[in-house]
Amino acid sequence: MKFIVLLALVAFAYAQEDADLDSPVVGEEKWPENEDTNGGFLAGFVYSNVEEGSCYFNLPEPAVLFHVLNGHIVTGDGTNPVEGRYTVAAPAGWEMENGTLRVLVYAGRGALFNATDVEFSCDPLDVAELSVYSFPQNDEVSEASSNVFYRPGYHKGDSLTITLPSPVARFNITGADGRWEITSSDDGLTHVVTGFVNEQGVDDQKEVHFSLNYLVTDEDNPRENWFSAGQITVAVTTVEEEDEGVVV
């Protein structure tokens, strides 16, 4: 499967040059399902004038895996993987490369669809302050890496809470500043990061990175504890908001 995706990525780079300007979809590379893997596609979705806004994907069928290679998922009401709905905010300039969001999809068995069947739209006014880099990056049910992007930047007194929907074999905050304090619940589902050092006005600390290994408790059902970025919960509380009982 890794080989198939690699070939698709190479083909995608060339296919962008021949984009159909009447369609938001460019460079679709598709593969059928077989006994070893689900069918799927890699495609680019072209946007314009999004600025710091959001884009929306509405799949015709829920997917086994939906991964935006260069985007962050906005968790909450706008995203529901079970229904095939995703809100995507690409908050960093490097992510919105060539005005295209690159999407990798593995469809369900017998439910393969085309990229052109996906409803895609964007709204520059829908600015999300908090988002999670898209994961998992493949369907191996092994490990994933991500980050929580906070548009205003993390500052002294801020508290980031990451809550997972299922237990994992391992969870780490990666690249952490030695002055950060990381507290985890006994069940390993909730992780709180505090101790940020930036003063207000210094806004360059915008991402907290993490990695995890999925927990496989049933070899016959390895996806039992598998989840995606759209299924975790993230929240940032500032000193002022903590006093007022408000969570971002």
What tens digit of pLDDT does each residue of 201-226 get? 999 999 999 999 999 999 889 999 99
With a CB cutoff of 8 Å and minimum separation 6, the contacts of 146 are 132, 133, 134, 135, 209, 210, 211, 229
Q: Tell me the pLDDT tens digit for each residue of 3-21.
A: 444 444 444 444 444 444 5
Cα–Cα nearest to 75, from 205, 237, 236: 236
Assign a CATH topology to domain 2-128: Immunoglobulin-like (2.60.40)
Check whether 239 has a pLDDT greater than 90.
Answer: no
- SS3 assignment, position 113: coil
Domain parsing of the chain, residue ranges: 2-128, 142-244
Cα–Cα nearest to 43, from 22, 32, 29, 31: 29
Strand partners of residue 44: 26, 102
Check whether 70 has a pLDDT greater than 60.
Answer: yes
Q: How far apart are CA 247 and CA 239, in angstroms?
A: 10
CATH 1.20.120 fits 142-244, yes or no: no
The token pair that represents 238 in the structure block: 């500032």
| Host H or E run for residue 239 | helix 239-244
Number of other CB atoms surrounding residue 22 within 10 Å? 5
Q: Tell me the pLDDT tens digit for each residue of 126-147.
A: 999 999 999 999 999 999 999 9
Give the pLDDT confidence score for residue 16 in this predicted structure: 43
Check whether 89 has a pLDDT greater than 70.
Answer: yes
Give the pLDDT confidence score for residue 91 in this predicted structure: 62
One fold for 2-128 and 142-244 = yes
- SS3 assignment, position 194: strand
Give the pLDDT confidence score for residue 99 in this predicted structure: 86
User: Model pTM?
Assistant: 0.86
Give the pLDDT confidence score for residue 93 in this predicted structure: 62
Q: Which residue type is seen at 90?
A: A
Strand partners of residue 212: 144, 171
Give the pLDDT confidence score for residue 187 in this predicted structure: 96
